[in-house]
Amino acid sequence: MMCRFIVSIIVVLLFSCREAGKQSDVIGTYLGEVNCSTCNGLKSKVTFLKDGTVRIGSISQEMDDVEPLTEHGNWTYSDGVIIIFTGRDSLYYRQLSPSTILSLHRDRTNTSLFVEDYTLEKLP
């Protein structure tokens, strides 16, 4: 009985450490061009900071004279999904690898045939 309890505690601790390790892999700046339904695409830059805050910068590729849209918010990581909370919206990304994230729709999916059009790469 005591052995099962100890094994259960060890399993919980291992999964907790694994989740925390993945969250720390997210920290950094990601850059990419993301498809846009109302324009020819957005250049996007997302920076995940260690303190749980995030900076997001986006600019339309067809409007060079427009100021970039800059937002700030908080982020969290759950089940491989990065959730960003800004003052006006929630954004979702899935971590595909330690250096790549995928922009998701509000239902936390992305069924696009052109997944590469929704990916951001981590800067070194």
pLDDT digits (tens, 9 = 90+) for 28-38: 999 998 777 66
Question: What number does CATH give the domain 2-122?
Answer: 2.40.128.640
**In this model, does residue 114 exceed pLDDT 90?**
no
Instruction: Locate the DSSP E strands across 1-124.
Output: 28-34, 42-48, 53-60, 69-78, 81-86, 90-97, 100-104, 119-122
Q: Using the 8-state DSSP alphabet, how is residue 38 labeled?
A: T
pTM for the model stands at 0.72
The pLDDT tens digits for 38-50 are 677 788 999 999 9
* pLDDT value at 121 more than 60: yes
Per domain, the residue ranges of the chain are: 2-122
Between 119 and 5, where is the model more confident?
119
Residue 59's CB: how many other CB atoms inside 10 A? 16
Collapse the DSSP code of 83 into the 3-class scheme (helix H, G, I; strand E, B; otherwise coil) and give the result.
Answer: strand
Query: Quick one: average pLDDT of 105-113?
Result: 68
